[in-house]
Amino acid sequence: MKTFFESPDRDRKTSGCILCNSFNWKALSLKDLFQIFKCKDCGLIFAYPIPDEDKVLESYSKGKSLESSIVEKQRENGERNFPEWKIKESMFFYRGITEYKRTGNILDIGCLWGLFLSIAKKKGWDCYGVEPFTEAADYAREKFGLNIFQGDIKKAHYPNNYFDVITMFDVIEHSVNPANILAETHRILKNDGLLCVGTPNLNGIYTTSQNIYGKLRFNKLTPNYLNPPFHFYGFNKKNIKKLLNKAGFEVIEIKTFSSFIMNNLIPPSKNIFSFKLLLRKCISILEDYTNSGDRMICYATKKHSSTNS
């Protein structure tokens, strides 16, 4: 008899794929108490079972997240020294937004320590943030003077059609229910507003090459990009567009970039002529050239915004 992991028992599923409602799932791997599946119909990769949303938010409120742990290591004498790659990345995100909107009010969902919003504030934007992690929300308020709501976006009770721009960088893959957060985003975004969603691209060249390597060496896929209970979903350009369309948005552009080049992840102590590092560098250049990087940013507006304004 096949185990649940080998052949999912439909009676144990509360619903199908969040994008296409399909039960046609392929098992990829097992991580701790979670199975990693891929929907054969739309390509969405996800962890199962999905835990209770309140428990996840409670965990994040205490700082139990991957990025919180990373930034926590930067603490020195009570001050947070953001790594150079993080500042560079935030500037990159900001420049992308200014191609569509130059000024107004902006909400960053999952703003963490407020670095991105601090850049926008210096440029004259009216900045708001939502962050479940209590310490990070307090820091963003005290350090940068930002208007931060600590908690869940649905409990912030912002007015309808309020924000010119809403951003969520590395948030959607952490969300237990992406449809809920996007529904609230749709409600509070202006009819001519801009939504900007950043998330890993699981069809990027580097990610694909990792999968091929895992299949050849270990005879199984090794989706390291999904790390429950921190990451629950993994998207590519096609199905992130489907998710946003389903939530009432029209995607106007999807850009990808290489996190390796963006974040300059070659350790200074390593030999720069190492074959592995040179290979990764070459893949990164190819990713940028073909718009097939391991990270992507989706720019979207409300559907039929011109008729609603």
Q: CA 137, CA 20: separation in Å to the nearest integer?
A: 35
Q: Residue-wise over 43-53: b if at least 16 C-beta within 10 A, else e? A: bbbbbbebeee
- The CATH superfamily label for domain 10-308 reads Vaccinia Virus protein VP39 (3.40.50.150)
Q: What does the domain layout of the chain look like in residue ranges? A: 10-308
First to last CA, the chain: 58
Whole-number Cα distances in Å, 33 to 5, 51, 53, 236: 11, 11, 16, 25
Tell me the CB-side half-sphere exposure of residue 69, using CA atoms within 13 A.
5
Give the residue ranges of the chain where pLDDT is below 70: 1-14, 53-80, 205-206, 208-225, 228, 260-281, 283-285, 287-291, 305-309
What is the residue whose two structure tokens read 């990027």? Answer: 204
pLDDT, residue 161, reads 97
pLDDT, residue 198, reads 95
Q: CA 130, CA 137: separation in Å to the nearest integer?
A: 8
pLDDT, residue 284, reads 66
- How would you classify the pairing of strands 249-257 and 295-302? antiparallel
- Give residue 13's identity as a one-letter amino acid code: K
Starting at the edge strand found earlier in the chain, the sheet holding 249-257 runs: 147-150, 126-131, 105-109, 163-169, 189-200, 295-302, 249-257
- Give residue 227's identity as a one-letter amino acid code: N
pLDDT, residue 116, reads 96
